[in-house]
Amino acid sequence: MADEAPPVASSDLQGALSTLSGSGSQALSNYQQDEANLDGVGKDIASIPQFDPQQEMAQGPQVNRQGFMSMAPLLIGLSTLGGKIAGLHPRVMLGATNGMMQGLIKGNQQAYEDAKQRYNDAYQRYMDKYKQQLQIYKEMQQVYKGQANSDLKALEIALRATGYQGKIDEEALKQWRWTQEMSLKTEDAHHRWQKWEQDNAVKWERTSEVKEKQSAKKAGNDQAIKNVLAQIETMQKSLKDSKFLAGGAGGIRRIGEWAASTAGFDTDDAAHRFQTSNNLFLAELPGVIEKMSSRTGKDQRQKLEQAADGLRTFTNNRIASEQLDVVKGILQQELGEPADTGLKRVTNDADYNALPAGTEYIAPDGSVRTKRK
């Protein structure tokens, strides 16, 4: 059976506290209130995601995590091996490091800063309490020096002075020694983490700069796509308004336009204008394809290249317009816009009744359907 410290009489406890340069009674008041403030903290801890040191930081600043992650094992040890003597503060600190890690993983600086504030508050409360206990413990060791169970008696004074109500025995003494060892290591790791955190703060700023550059780059890429889409609209309008612009027929018409112009006749140069727009479109499209995001898959890129090849070869107005439709649909998807299918959107019975049987249409829920007889 584990040894247990003989109960310390209330008068002995108050007398012992009076020898602590006036700090004991103040410690009792401060830390009983401090423990009371922890009511309900278990719910907060339970809601915090589990710490996963192997998870990569996909969006947050790419930092050296060694200093940051070194805190977790110490806090786990302090929470488990320190037991009730260490109290709930180490668990709150551990939960906050989980929150900071989640902020880093998600690239959410506000979440990181909020969790860091919770960590700092809990760390300061814990260290204030621990150092007060340590001061009292060491002074009481001198008071009880040479007596039986002097360490247990000193520990009881130190713990009772800071609001601890649990059993004081050899197991408590073992937890206290673990708490001493882990607290020293935690304090050292905390100071190393602060240096790491300063470096991390700088990298948050750099990450913000990178995100701004990426945003500006995307805006430039999107504008390039919009310019190509505007060219497609112009080209398709020309194909609809004038015959024989594309392919072999377009080549013959261009020769006729050139001959008429050389002879001094006024002539419509629609075929030449279309060919100029087509050449410009084909020159710009490869650059747009190269800048497209990874969400546009390889097969879609191949469709764009095949459509471009179709516009370079002999074709006609109808086929040219169809190839441009393929390009337009893929580029609109890249921008996150709904592709222009040309289908009528039905919103009420009158719209539906006006459609001929067999016509495809867009239903109110966004699905494509075919009207039955």
Q: In the chain, what are the domain boundaries?
A: 10-213, 242-337, 341-373
Backbone φ and ψ for 270, nearest 5 degrees, come out as: -60, -40
Specify the pLDDT at position 203: 62
344 strand-pairing partners: 361
Length of the chain: 373
Nearest to 179 by CA among 144, 137, 221: 137
pLDDT at 52 over 80: no
User: Whose structure tokens read 């377009």?
Assistant: 250
**The Cα angle at residue 325 between residues 321 and 328, in degrees rounded to 5:** 130
Please report which helix (H) or strand (E) contains residue 89, including its range.
Answer: helix 89-106
Residue 97 has pLDDT above 60, yes or no: yes
Has residue 59 got a pLDDT over 60? Answer: no
**Rounded Cα–Cα distance for residues 91 and 95 (Å):** 6
Confidence of residue 138 (pLDDT cuts 50, 70, 90): very high
The torsion defined by the Cα of 171, 175, 180 and 185, in degrees rounded to 10, comes to: 150
Instruction: Report the alpha-carbon distance of residue 235 to residue 270 in Å, rounded.
Output: 11
* pLDDT: which is higher, 292 or 368: 292
What single-letter amino acid sits at 6? P
Residue 209 has pLDDT above 80, yes or no: no
> The tokens of 229 are what?
């889409």
82 within 8 A of 100, measured Cβ to Cβ: no
The residue-averaged pLDDT of 242-269 equals 82
pLDDT value for 17 = 45
Give the DSSP H/E element, type plus range, for residue 212. helix 170-241
Tokens of 356: 């001929």
How big is the chain by its Cα radius of gyration, in Å? 38
pLDDT band at 110 (very low <50, low <70, confident <90, very high): confident
163 or 117, which is more confident? 117
Question: Which of 212-226, 294-308, 332-346 is predicted least confidently?
Answer: 332-346
Record the tokens describing residue 332, joined without a space. 């609109």
